[in-house]
Amino acid sequence: MPDVLSSSEYTSTGLSEELTDLAAMVRDFADTVVAPAAVTHDAAHTFPYEVVAQMGELGLFGLPVPEEYGGMGGDHLALCVAIEELARVDQSIAITLEAGVSLGISPLLHYGTDEQKSAWVPDLAAGRALAGFGLTEPEAGSDASGTRTTARLEDGTWVINGNKEFITNSGTDITRLVTVTAVTGTQEDRHGRERKEISTLLVPVPTEGFRAEKAYDKVGWNSSDTHPLTLTDVRVPEKNLLGERGRGYANFVHTLDEGRIAIAALGTGAAQGCLDAAVRYAKERRAFGSAIGQHQAIAFKIARMQVRVHTARLAWRDAAARMVAGKPFKTQASIAKIVAGEAAMDNARDATQIFGGYGFINEFVVARHYRDSKILEIGEGTTEVQQMLIARSLGLE
């Protein structure tokens, strides 16, 4: 692990020496450890505990975490560099890291009290524990007004009731915390209209009344842990309020903005993985007397794949650089997520076509990317939501 994880030397053409070393280290780990395990865990739909433990030992979960809480003292760009390298070979392990940090650790770092940070962050940063974030519900996600989970304060205790959907890292053997949004009352908006007061609460796992239901049978991300959650009279102390009461959804929107950069890095890694596989196969596979890469139809298809990777990488790095520099990045994060998600999906489709019949066999990485990549246009804000945010930034309400 590099001694310094800082993006201060970042330029539009590359990374600092420290981040370049980090990328090389994670790339080697991905190729030698993650890739072989991915085939087995994807086929069995099992969670890769042994890989997660090694990621913890490498310090990947603690990349953007201050050293005082057991982290590496880096920033969001360092995290995204690692996520991109992992996603080349396995999107499931990449999203486990992304969600574990962006949705698990980051809300604590941004809005937690010193006591909350000290209690939870060290184990999360070490990969000994995982945390999830319960926002989405059967009738709510991007639309906060649809939130139906409730929390009422009784004698210094929050009593929580409701359901959550599609919650990553919520049902593993090492899940120790799920942060949930809940309606804690009502308040007036700026126009004097009454609306739901949404707050964020920390729910330790296990807690009586909290249940991770049967894991989803998903199209892709088969070794990523994802569950619906049921909360029935879950009781947590009043001090488990995360951040200011009534600011839960607003705070999580900021968390999502950061997470979209990480998802864009993941999409870029997936697109790169498809490109790498296609180039290797096009040089090895022969048809009509020559390697198929010598045929213009294949060569041009691969060239277009490289264009997508390059563009997606520039987009997420630009958004990340703005973020760590303290500059506005919301619009750039949405742009990056759209570009990278589409790059991953388009490259997966093209790589599968280049592989022909082998591209339809699950043991090949391009087949897994084909199944995995669609969610990148849906999760952490659909493409349509990103378009809405970009249009809004242009003054088009």
Q: Which residues are catalytic?
A: 380
Identity of the amino acid at 301: K
C-alpha separations of 67 from 22, 70, 149 in Å: 17, 5, 35
CB 110 within 8 A of CB 255: yes
C-alpha separations of 191 from 188, 200, 371 in Å: 7, 24, 45
Per DSSP, the three-state class of 132 is strand
Task: Quote the tokens at residue 196.
Answer: 């739901």
CB 274 within 8 A of CB 347: yes
Residue 252 to residue 249: CA distance in whole angstroms: 5
Helix orientation angle between 330-355 and 365-372, rounded to the nearest 10 degrees: 140
State residue 296 phi and psi, 5-degree precision. Answer: -60, -35
Q: What is the DSSP string of 182-222?
A: EEEEEEE-TTS-EEEEEEEEEEESS-TTEEE-SPP--SS-T
CB 345 within 8 A of CB 377: yes
Residue with tokens 């994880």: 5
State residue 197 phi and psi, 5-degree precision. Answer: -90, 115
Instruction: Name, in order, each residue with C-beta under 8 angstroms of 342's C-beta and a sequence gap of 6 or more.
Output: 308, 377, 383
Residue with tokens 């290797």: 280
Residue with tokens 């975490």: 65
Of 51, 89, 125, 64, whose CA–CA distance to 262 is shortest? 64
Instruction: Name, in order, each residue with C-beta under 8 angstroms of 13's C-beta and a sequence gap of 6 or more.
Output: none
> What DSSP character marks residue 141?
S
Strand partners, 150: 161, 183
> How many other C-beta atoms are found inside a 10 Å radius of the C-beta of residue 220?
18
